[in-house]
Chain A
Amino acid sequence: MSSERGRGGKARNWLRLFSRKSPPTAPAKGKRDATPDAKEARAAREARRAQANAKKASRPAKTMLATPAADGRHRICVIGSSHMVAYKLAADETTIDPRLFVHFQGLAGREFAAIEADADGIFVDYEKLLLSPRHLRPMWDPLTDAIAYDAFDSFVVVGTLRTSHILKAFYEWRTTGHFSRAYIEAGVEMLIKRDPGVNLGQAIHQASGKPVVTLAAPLTAIAVDVGDQAAMDEAYRETKAAIEKGFHARGLTTVFQPDETVLDASSTKEIYARASQTLAGVEHEDEERAHMNAAFGKLVLPDILAAAGAQQAETGAPRLTSA
């Protein structure tokens, strides 16, 4: 699904044998691993891994995504969760600078965590997908092809890190006195560390050496009753700083939603959540306020493309005009 071919277009696929290396063996973890229980658990893990590798080896050859023609365009691959939809809709509804090639692909919800990256490229771990109770839901454009790093100049990962949760943590620290600063910072770091989008972005960056922009989810569009606006302002500033710092430590850059989309430093303005869509192209229910719409996407996409290196195009910053 690339913006150059419009909706419903067929991707040109290259065929390439897909193979995935086994993950490196985990280092010894001290004496606990030496116990009979730990040995048994390790043996069971290894057996499961061997079984999974055998299944993978018996699968049909994996299709690699087509590489766009090397015609001088800056090629950006956007891989995302359901939060990516706003940006894809924005790309569909506007004209992107012809010197850019932007490709979108993703999986929604928990399935997003099944997208992995290693030295061979970006792919879906079907073992993980099968563990999802909602596996293989019909969706708009699932990531079914492996993506080779050579096919793109930079990557964007639209992840699932809940900005609203981090904001709430900092706000509660400022207003309730219930938590220590160290606890809040450790918790925020753990949220970042465990986020599938962050992990995917980091893995792509490490394997490809290419720039990776990773996005946290926007603030939910549910208005918050802010008791202390000054504290909320400061908490939002801290939230962005913590995300930026955590991403930067992992070799990632990020883009935050524009201030004009934010209400009282605490939520996304409700108009940007109306008529949002799922990855399957279906409109969300009216009360859904976690995902944003094309209007939101249009405001953020230029920043995303710029962060992904689009400014390297001859004319500077990417140009988006309404179709």
Chain B
Amino acid sequence: MKNPYQSLPERAFWRPSVSEVEPTAISDVYRPKFPVDKSMRVVTQGSCFSQHIGRQFVTRGYQWFEAETPFTHFPAQLSRAYNYGVFSFRTGNIYTPRLLLQWLRWACGRDEAPDEAWTNREGSVDPFRPAIEPDGFASDEEMLASRNGMIARMRESLPSIDLFIFTFGLTEAWENKESGVVYPMCPGTAGGTFDPDKHVFRNYTFLECHRDMTEAVEILRSFNPAMKILFTVSPVPLTATATGEHVLTANTRSKSLLRTLAATLSEEHDFVDYFPSFEFIIQPPFKAMFYDGNLRTVTKEGVAFVMSHFFKAHGAADETDGDDAPRRRTVTEAENDDLVCEEVMLEGAAAR
């Protein structure tokens, strides 16, 4: 009698499907649980890398949902600076499961967003979207109205969303000790003032992340019981860690936890899937060739490679020229290279 491995397909073995194959020819890695097609209304949220995914959906003519559109007659080049067309909802980056859950709890009315406001030299800053306006808001009132308007649009539109794609970024975050709210950025880095008596560092455990995401999935499905959910893990390493560990090990801790989380959620729910963008960039066959010189950000070619696997798996022909740039308009070279990543602001704190 054969042992179980003797009847497995080639893709189950490293040597024939990975080490003996030219890296970009590695195939059949992603087998979707459910189809994704152009009839679906798609949301992309999460860390910086999810911006690439959103752009690719737009470029290929999918129904990428944008809750807040820029003013019709303004030049498109202004939009990115004000975070229009970056994520489906104008939340800025959502790096952690806890932050996603917080936004969703506010959207469904389970919690109420606090009136907390930060200030910087230019004006009022939203603690939960610190870089959403490059020069801040004119007043706290304007900031709160903008945030509440965004939450309202989230509430109104989620019932019509067919596919929610979320890219996990990291497990580290800062919380407010008193209110328990979680911030996308440490107070004092992108606005506000750090207060050690008020702000506490958290590196969420797997159990915490799983609990948060279980509730997040439940909220999303309460908006639309037919909604499909797709998770990815960002291959972009941490800019900095506040754990006291070396950033290399802290990065592995964050990414491996989130990768496990995505796998667990996918195994628990038939409407949840995982797309391996993480593996396509970080695994040994690719020898870091899809990273820029900083060994952190992903090249255009890397993004195109990753997304070609996604769309090919969904039966869509390669409809782009591999350039991850255009989205309903011509994008300049500078814009193309500039993802909106608040976390990069932490680099300013690094010793030179």
A and B form one complex? yes
Q: Does A179 contact B (CB under 8 A)?
A: yes
Could you tell me if A172 and B73 are in contact, using CB atoms closer than 8 angstroms? no
Chain A min CB distance to B85 (Å): 13
Taking the closest CB of chain A, its distance from the CB of B40, in whole angstroms, is: 26
Which of B73, B77, B142, B333 has the largest count of A CB atoms less than 10 A from its CB?
A: B73
Q: Does A27 sit at the interface, judged by CB under 8 A?
A: no
CB contacts (< 8 Å) of B138 on chain A: these are 180-182
Q: Which of A285-314 contact B (CB under 8 A)?
A: none
| Residue B135 lies at the interface, judged by CB distance under 8 Å to chain A | yes
Which A residue's beta carbon lies closest to that of B146?
Answer: A180
Task: Tell me if A174 is interfacial: C-beta within 8 Å of chain B.
Answer: no
| Inter-subunit contact B75/A191 (CB<8 Å) | yes
Q: Are A187 and B74 in contact (CB under 8 A)?
A: yes
Chain A 91-129 near chain B by CB (<8 Å), digits 1 or 0: 000000000000000000000000000000000000000
A187 touches B78 (CB 8 A): yes
Task: Give complex CA distance A190, B80 in Å.
Answer: 14
A137 close to chain B: CB less than 8 A: no
Given A180-B133, A181-B142, is A186 in contact with B78 using a C-beta cutoff of 8 Å?
yes
Taking CB atoms, residues of chain B closer than 8 Å to A181 are: 137-138, 142
Residues from chain B with a CB closer than 8 A to the CB of A37 are 333
Question: Is A248 located at the chain interface by the 8 A CB criterion?
Answer: no
Number of interface residues of A (CB under 8 A): 21
Q: How far is the CA of A269 from the CA of B137 in the complex (A)?
A: 37
**Beta-carbon nearest neighbor of A162 in chain B:** B73
Chain B residue contacts of A182, Cβ below 8 A: 123, 133-138
Q: Are B135 and A169 in contact (CB under 8 A)?
A: no
Mark contacts of B136-165 with chain A using CB atoms, 8 A cut-off: 1 yes-contact digit, 0 otherwise: 111000100110010000000000000000
**A194 interface residue (CB < 8 Å to B):** yes
Sorting the interface of chain B by its residue count into under 10, 10 to 19, 20 to 34 or 35 or more gives: 20 to 34
Q: Which residue of A41, A172, A177, A194 is within 8 Å of B71 (Cβ)?
A: A172
Q: How far is the CA of A15 from the CA of B336 in the complex (A)?
A: 48
Q: Does B174 contact A (CB under 8 A)?
A: no
From B71, B78, B137, B146, name the one whose CB has the most chain A CB atoms within 10 angstroms.
B71
Contact B137 A180 (CB under 8 A): yes
Asked whether A184 is an interface residue with its Cβ less than 8 Å from the other chain, the reply is yes
Query: What CA separation (Å) do A32 and B133 show in the bound complex?
Result: 25
User: Could you tell me the distance between the alpha carbons of A169 and B75 in the complex, rounded to whole angstroms?
Assistant: 12
Please tell me if the beta carbons of B78 and A169 are within 8 angstroms of each other in the complex: no
Does B25 count as interface, using CB distance less than 8 angstroms?
A: no
Interface: B82 (CB within 8 A): yes
Residues of B within 8 A of A178 (CB): 68, 149
Kindly report which residue of chain A lies nearest to residue B334, judged by CB atoms. A32
Asked whether B149 lies within 8 Å of A187 as measured between CB atoms, the reply is: no
Contact A183 B82, CB 8 Å, known A177-B149, A178-B68: yes
The smallest C-beta distance from B337 to any residue of chain A, in angstroms, reads 8
Given contact pairs A37-B333, A168-B72, a sample of 9 additional A-B residue pairs in the complex whose CB atoms are under 8 Å apart:
A32-B334, A169-B71, A177-B145, A177-B146, A179-B71, A181-B142, A182-B138, A187-B75, A194-B75
11 A–B contacts from the bound complex (CB under 8 Å): A32-B337, A168-B72, A168-B73, A180-B133, A180-B146, A182-B133, A183-B133, A184-B71, A186-B81, A187-B73, A191-B75
Q: Which residues of B contact A (CB under 8 A)?
A: 68, 71-75, 77-78, 81-82, 123, 133-138, 142, 145-146, 149, 333-334, 337
Please provide the 8 A-B residue pairs with the shortest distance between their CB atoms, ordered closest to farther: A187-B74, A165-B73, A181-B138, A183-B82, A182-B135, A190-B75, A169-B71, A180-B133
